[in-house]
């Protein structure tokens, strides 16, 4: 597997990560998962980056993990399984949540399993009107707790349950109603509309972008009065530093 299975580039102040295995639906190997986490982490710390784009070539965004060489096929202890499989996947979620700037997903076609989880965990998800989302793991009696972790602060709990238990697909409009898709655009307009949104983001200061992300991540866990105090404190710091 070459580095061309996932292309990293920088366009101005946007770090771009493009999944590039269109012939197999952009399924990710564990090596790709590890590299994805590393690239998001590095870009999120770069003071010259204001946004990170996660996109994919081909008809589908991501059909999930590549089953060839999957670690669960070999006998392993729970500790070995965590090191081989769950830690890399959780590392992607942690990298996205920990990035100082917004991570934006541009989704077309099917986002399946880990692909659906990646679409959900990003800060902003722009979906083509032909996109579909599914968590099909329970059809193999595999509880998708890792994917559920990506959704847990993005999607309504009963809706996560429906995705998991039914193993069915939902369309972009339903995904937006459930809370993990931000905007829907025409399939032919996905790139141009994503570029337009990123141009708007990069016109803002990095400090302002990072402050918004920090508030959205933390305030939801606070009581209303604490969230208000936190909002005032963050804004006061930003305004006083100008």
- 137-155 exposure pattern, b = at least 16 Cβ within 10 A, e = fewer: beeeeeebebbbbbbeebb
β-pairing, 51-56 with 110-112?
Answer: unpaired
Q: If you write DSSP's letter for every residue of 110-124 in order, what string do you get?
A: EEETHHHHHHHHSSE
Statement: the pTM of the whole predicted model exceeds 0.85: yes
pLDDT for 74 beyond 90: no
Q: Count CB neighbours of 94 within 10 A.
A: 15
Among the four given CATH numbers 3.40.50.720, 3.90.226.10, 3.10.129.10, 3.40.630.30, the one describing domain 3-200:
3.90.226.10
CB-CB contact of 43 with 104 (8 Å): no
Phi, psi dihedral angles at 93 (to 5 degrees): -60, -45
- How far is it between the farthest Cα atoms of the chain? 57
Task: State the DSSP H helix or E strand holding residue 176, giving kind and residue range, or none if neither.
Answer: helix 172-178
Domain regions of the chain by residue span = 3-200, 205-240
Kindly report, residue by residue over 152-204, the tens digit of the pLDDT.
Answer: 999 989 999 999 999 999 999 999 999 999 999 999 999 999 999 999 999 99
């Amino acid at each position: 597997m070459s580095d061309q299975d996932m292309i990293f580039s920088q366009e101005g102040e946007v770090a771009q990560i493009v999944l590039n295995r269109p012939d197999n639906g952009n399924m990710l190997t564990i090596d790709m998962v590890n590299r994805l986490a590393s690239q998001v982490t590095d870009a999120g710390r770069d003071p010259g980056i204001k946004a990170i784009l996660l996109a994919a070539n081909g008809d589908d965004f991501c059909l999930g993990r590549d089953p060839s060489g999957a670690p669960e096929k070999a006998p392993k202890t729970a500790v070995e399984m965590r090191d081989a499989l769950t830690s890399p996947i959780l590392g992607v979620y942690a990298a996205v949540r920990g990035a100082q700037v917004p991570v934006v997903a541009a989704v077309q076609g099917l986002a399946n399993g880990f692909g659906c989880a990646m679409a959900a965990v990003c800060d902003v998800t722009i979906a083509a009107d032909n996109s579909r989302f599914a968590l099909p793991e329970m059809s193999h009696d595999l509880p998708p707790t890792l994917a559920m972790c990506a959704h847990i602060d993005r999607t309504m709990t009963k809706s996560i349950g429906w995705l998991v238990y039914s193993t069915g697909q939902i369309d972009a409009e339903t995904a937006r109603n459930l809370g993990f898709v931000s905007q829907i655009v025409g399939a032919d307009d996905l790139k141009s509309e994503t570029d337009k949104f990123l141009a708007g983001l990069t016109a803002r200061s990095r400090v302002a972008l990072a402050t918004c992300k920090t508030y959205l991540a933390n305030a939801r866990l606070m009581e209303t009065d604490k969230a208000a105090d936190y909002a005032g404190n963050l804004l006061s710091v930003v305004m006083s530093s100008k």
